Structure 1
Amino acid sequence: AGLQFSPCLSYAPPESSEAPPAFAPMELRALLDGHHLRERDWAYGAMEESPLFCPRRAGGKVFVSPDYNEGKEGQREATMRRIGYLTRRGVFRGWLTEPGPDAELRKLALLECLGVYDHSLAIKVGVHFFLWGGAVKFLGTKRHHDKWLLDTENYVIKGCFAMTELGHGSNVRGIETVATYDSKTGEFVINTPCESAQKYWIGGAANHATHTIVFAQLHINGRNEGVHAFIAQIRDQDENVLPNIHIADCGHKIGLNGVDNGRIWFNNIRVPRENLLNLVADVLPDGKYVSMIDNPDQRFAAFLSPLTLGRVNIAVNAVYISKVCSVAFPFR
């Protein structure tokens, strides 16, 4: 018998036969997005224009989606190439150096656009700007801002955030990494004393980060002053790991393989005294510990609160819209 007619052979896309919407799509889009619609459209357009975002045209629309068949290393390098392109296009301009609520809302809107495209891209950017950059901005003072923020914004340096350790989970007070002040040289000596003190699941550490925020117990003259944050360089400009620093790749994951999570050990590395993020407390050249907050519990709370906000911002914006196999920008 010959082939029989099947309805599937005459399939037509739903949008060609369905009734017009009972509402204005642009009004719904304005309600859902809420703010900075023009900037969002500009960011979407920048992604549509570049082959790095795998654009495909169909039915008068442009679809973009990452290639998840590239493998772990391929996805990581693709994420970095996309970040480089977005940096050149000016997407990140003002993210750390422009003050005011409008600049903050614009930054969140653009991060959300990146999350619509690919969560790996949003997480990688979020770690760099909200965790590394946020720590420098909100825990540091003018000397840190002048030295680090603009280079962070321009991706001259690539930052990560070495807080989580294998042994403490989310108990930041329980971290075991130690920073001991050497008053003879004016340096902090940072050391990983045991296996459980290794910095673990650090986004950006495995391949690309040149600098990190290190959270460590500050020891001065045999006294533990509690958890503090320090800036440390971990790679040179050619992405070679620096001496006395050991980094291991966390390997393939069930998702977010565009983010290079890694483990870090420190073998008595030395960082200048000025690399202590000193908004809450400082160490004078002679080793005297000073703080405007006498109570250690209140000092720890003041130290940690801006970082908690930064982590929440990343989580909320990176998962705002569930990722599907292919994303279209139909409302523009």
Structure 2
Amino acid sequence: MDRINFRTQIISGHLQPPTTDILLHVTPCLSYTPPELTEPQPTFNTKSLRKLLDGQSADIIDYIFNLMIQSPLFSPKNKGGRVFITPDYNQSMEQQREMTMRRIGYLRDTGLFNGWFEKPAPDGDLWMFAMAETVGVFDHSLGIKLGVHFFLWGGALRFMGTKRHHDKWFKSTETFEVKGCFAMTGLGHGSNVRGIETITRYDASTSEFIINTPCESAQKYWIGGAANHATHTIVFSQLEINGVNDGMHAFIAQIRDENGNVCPNVRIADCGHKIGLNGADNGRIWFDNLRIPRENLLNSVADVSPDGKYLSAIKDPDQGIIVKC
């Protein structure tokens, strides 16, 4: 019975609005030393193994690794004539988050992300995944931050948006003028998009969508990048027009200004210290009738006309991104 009461108290805490910016007590990380600095050299042929594992991506991985070992941000260490890089997991959560963003800034300044959205498949896709793998092997927090920004935020723009979104957002995403996150997961439904409780309604008088978090279980939860750095997010929400639910759609919403201040009608809380990946800032987001332009609907398969007519070539609600409950 005590165990049930304890779990009930924990769940109740999740359903209450935050009363402080610090939701969890900070616990120091465990002491960590990378094995490559303490273990002996392997006895097998590492070049043959690497050729098998990395294949045609080996040159890309070497290029990115060489960029990293040139910067003290990646803590390069010379051991036996070889250079190793490793993050310091003994830093505080705040230090790890700040260092992750400084590393992203360095990689951006080297031009690593230039032309991200212009690289043709399949070679472009292999390049992107090799980049994600390389930075993730160094520090998974860095891989998560870049993955959320480029693969989730950027991928939604690419595949769910159209030319108007590509023209407006691609370049600023590559330069990190815009820092994106991906607000699909919710406290009450996890990643079950049919169960999304966020509601967006269209106001034809102003040509705006109005995004609202109607209850605590509808809050966007565990959103990577939201706690500290993201300026914009992709919001997954039920779309209602004239009282009719037209299913789940995705919208672009600004959540912070250029100075990092949280936007009006948006509330953000920090998920706090985690057992790992503390360089990635997970957060919670609420929307209080946030107004966004009509053009911020990602409209690759469905759109809303200025006068409020719902337009879609998809008739089956189980197809595409339109999911009707």
Structure 1 Cα separation of the partners of residues 53 and 320 of structure 2? 39
Structure 1 partner of 2:311: 290
Q: Name stretches of at least 5 consecutive residues in structure 2 with no aligned partner.
A: 1-37
- Work out which of the residue numbers 154, 175, 189 in structure 1 matches 2:175: 154
Q: Which residue of 2 aligns with 1:186?
A: 207
Match of 2:186?
165
Residue in 1 aligned with 2:89?
68
1:277 corresponds to: 298
Q: Is the deviation greater in 167-176 or in 197-206?
A: 167-176
| Alpha-carbon distance, 1:174 to partner | 0.5
| Cα deviation 1:163-194 (Å, max 9, x = unaligned) | 00000012111111100000000000000000
* Alignment counterpart, residue 134 of structure 1, candidates 137, 143, 155: 155
Q: Deviations over 1:57-84 (max 9, x none)?
A: 1100111111112111100000000000
SS of 1:92's equivalent?
A: coil
Q: Which amino acid aligns with 1:268?
A: N
1:78 maps to a residue whose letter is M
- 1:66/1:13 Cα in 2 relative to 1: closer, same or farther (>3 Å)? closer
1:190-222 Cα shifts (integer Å, max 9, x gaps)? 000000000000000000000000011000000
Q: What is the alpha-carbon root mean square deviation over aligned residues?
A: 1.7
Kindly provide the CA deviation profile for residues 283-310 of structure 1, in whole angstroms up to 9, marking residues without a partner as x: 001110011111112244799xxxxxxx
CA contact (8 A) 1:30 1:37 kept: yes
Once residues 27 and 299 of structure 1 are traced to their aligned partners in structure 2, the CA distance between those partners, rounded to angstroms, is: 43
Retained in 2: the 8 A contact 1:53–1:64?
Answer: yes
| Distance 1:223-1:66 versus aligned 2 partners, 3 A rule | same
CA offsets per residue over residues 9-41 of structure 1, 9 Å max, x none?
xxx9854xx8x74x5x32321111122222211
Residue 199 in structure 1 maps to residue 199 in structure 2: no
Name the residue aligned to 1:55. Answer: 76
Q: Distance in 2 between matches of 1:302 and 1:46?
A: 43
* Counterpart selection for 1:253 from 274, 280, 300: 274
Contact 2:76 2:83 in 1 (8 A): yes
Distance in 1 (CA, whole Å) between partners of 2:119 and 2:87 is 30
Tell me if structure 1 keeps the 8 A contact 2:149–2:181.
yes
SS in structure 2 of the partner of residue 297 of structure 1: coil
Q: How many residues matched?
A: 287
Contact (CA 8 Å) 2:211, 2:290: kept in 1 or not? Answer: yes
Q: What is the identity, as a one-letter code, of the residue corresponding to 1:56?
A: K
- Offset at residue 90 of structure 1 (A): 1.6
What amino acid does structure 1 have at the position aligned with 2:120?
P
One-letter amino acid matched to 1:96:
F
AA aligned to 2:183 is A
Q: Give 1:111's aligned amino acid.
A: A
What amino acid sits opposite 2:296 in the alignment? N
Distance 2:257 2:54 in 1: 40
Shift of 1:138: 0.3
> Which residue identity does 1:279 align to in structure 2?
S
Identity percentage of aligned residues: 65
**Match of 2:129?**
108
- How far, CA to CA, are the matches of 1:245 and 1:302 in structure 2? 25
Contact 1:97 1:150 (C-alpha < 8 Å) held by counterparts: no
- Counterpart position of 1:80: 101
Q: What is the CA–CA distance in structure 1 between the aligned matches of 2:100 and 2:39, rounded to whole Å? A: 33
Residue among 58, 64, 73 paired with 1:43: 64
Counterpart of 2:145 in structure 1 is 124
Which stretch of the first structure deviates more once superposed, 29-38 or 253-262?
Answer: 29-38
Structure 1: 5+ residue runs without aligned partners? 1-11, 304-332
Kept in 2: contact 1:210–1:237 (CA 8 A): yes
Separation of aligned partners in 1, 2:128 and 2:232: 22
SS at match of 1:296: coil
* Residue equivalent to 2:196: 175
Query: Which residue among 29, 32, 38 is the counterpart of 2:50?
Result: 29
Structure 1 or 2, whichever has the larger Rg, is 1
Alpha-carbon displacement from aligned partner over 1:235-254 (angstroms, at most 9, x marks no partner)? 01110001110000000000
Alignment correspondent of 2:26? none
- Taking a change above 3 Å as real, the CA distance of residues 225 and 28 of structure 1, as seen in their structure-2 partners, is same
Q: Which has the higher contact order (CA 8 A, sep 6+)?
A: 1
**In the alignment, residue 125 of structure 1 is paired with which amino acid?**
L
The change in CA–CA distance for 1:229 and 1:301 in structure 2 (over 3 A counts) is: closer
